[in-house]
Amino acid sequence: MTADQPAVQPRAALPRTGRVRAVTLLIAVALLLVSMLLGLLAGAAGISPKGILLALLDRMPFVDVDSGLAPVEQGLLFQLRLPRVLLAAIVGGLLAVAGAGYQGVFRNPLADPYLLGAAAGAGLTVTLVIVFSGGDTGAVTVPVAAFAGAVGGVFLAYAVGNTAGRGGGTATLVLAGVAVTSFLTAIQTFVQQLRVEELQRIYSWILGDVGGGWEQVWLIAPYATVSTIALLLHGRLLDVLSVGDDEATGLGLRAGRVRLVVLLAASLATASAVAVSGLIAFVGIVVPHVVRRLAGWSYRVVLPLSFLGGAAFLVLADLVARTALAPAELPIGVVTAFVGAPFFVAVLRLTRRVGT
């Protein structure tokens, strides 16, 4: 393999590749829009699809149409269902694109957004807030605590990995993440035992929820924008990094710098998602793996498709959570676990079979 082979494609292949990529993205966008429409339709009160579409069009600039919806239906659509669907889409997209970023950095399809202690850090800080706040946590306190804990967990894992020396590479960082996760989870369990009466609130957050409303949507929006753009801009660099650090360095790529930036962006995406939704597992494994199976291994394609696919996946998962046991509601983390756990086992068996 020559030095310039991984970095460029033959010119003759570029137009067709571009068309295929555009068509694939359009299909993913269409899937997301359909899933969001289904999410808006789901609920105890039936609202007509035509009324929903007209009401959404009526909110667009320079458009004035009569949706035919009653004021109560308008309030239900725009104050409950729409922010819930949008929040599920943003959280699902962030978890999936973060998973793809981690997998690109570690060159391992089993890498997960919670790999480096983000979930454990968020779980610990939220548990501390719930236990020691006297029950008055406020609407923003828990998300801020979760965000700080997730970022802190990642930085702690990164610091521990660096103290082990530079020779360990990504494997050392993964092991550091496992160690930090175990340590923080142990502290969380100890704190929970101090206030057993708060266990229901703690586990309600841990199992995930995307019903936070517009306040949570606006809270996550800036972090989602920054982290997603940063990851998408590194798609080509992750393609080069996939050939190995030595080869990437030979191509002029600063592998360590790229890895650090992608880790920071993926961790920011994970932390912001965890902050507003709790711990929703397996999205970052399931979606990128399916995308690679369908669209190839180039991260210029995997990253945007993972975001769109993750958004659609979590909207549909929330739809199942709201309707499976209606009028009761399942935690969304239970739904993703039902899908993700068997999928993870299948991926694990496949990777062992091919020796990766």
C-alpha closest to that of 268 among 326, 235, 308, 225:
225
Give the span between the Cα atoms of 226 and 164, in whole angstroms: 31
Dist CA 249 CA 216 (whole Å): 41
Q: What is the pLDDT of residue 200?
A: 81
CATH of domain 89-351: 1.10.3470.10
Give the amino acid at 210.
Answer: V
C-alpha span between 322 and 196 (Å, rounded): 28
pLDDT of residue 354: 55
| Contact present, 92 and 319 (Cβ < 8 Å) | no
Mean pLDDT by 10 residues, the chain (356 residues): 42 49 90 95 83 90 88 92 96 96 86 83 88 68 86 87 66 83 91 82 85 90 95 93 79 85 91 89 92 91 96 96 87 91 78 55
Tell me how far apart the alpha carbons of residues 192 and 87 are, in angstroms, rounded to a whole number: 28
What letters, b where the CB count within 10 A reaches 16 and e where it falls short, cover 301-323? Answer: bbbbbbbbbbbbbbbbbbbbbbe
Quote the CA–CA distance of 251 and 60 in Å, as a whole number: 47
Q: What is the pLDDT of residue 138?
A: 61
Q: Give this prediction's pTM.
A: 0.87
User: Residue 136 class from Cβ within 10 Å (0-12 exposed, 13-18 middle, 19+ buried)?
Assistant: exposed
Q: Where are the domains of the chain?
A: 89-351
Q: For 5-28, b where at least 16 C-beta lie within 10 A, e where not — what string? A: ebeeeeeeeeeebeeebeebeeeb
Closest CA to 89 of 283, 329, 286: 283
**pLDDT at residue 137, as a whole number:** 61
The whole-number pLDDT of residue 14 equals 39
* pLDDT for residue 134: 65
Give the pLDDT of residue 13: 39
Residue 352, pLDDT score: 58
| CA pair distance 146, 153, nearest whole angstrom | 10
Query: How far, in Å, CA of 5 to CA of 27, rounded?
Result: 30
Q: Under the phi-then-psi rule, with left for phi > 0, alpha for psi from -120 to 50, and beta for the rest, what region is 48?
A: beta
Q: Are 142 and 205 in contact (CB under 8 A)?
A: yes
Angstrom distances, CA of residue 249 to CA of 122, 233, 245, 311? 35, 19, 6, 34
pLDDT value of position 168: 54
Distance CA 212, CA 53 (A): 23
Compute how many other C-beta atoms are within 10 angstroms of the C-beta atom of residue 213.
15
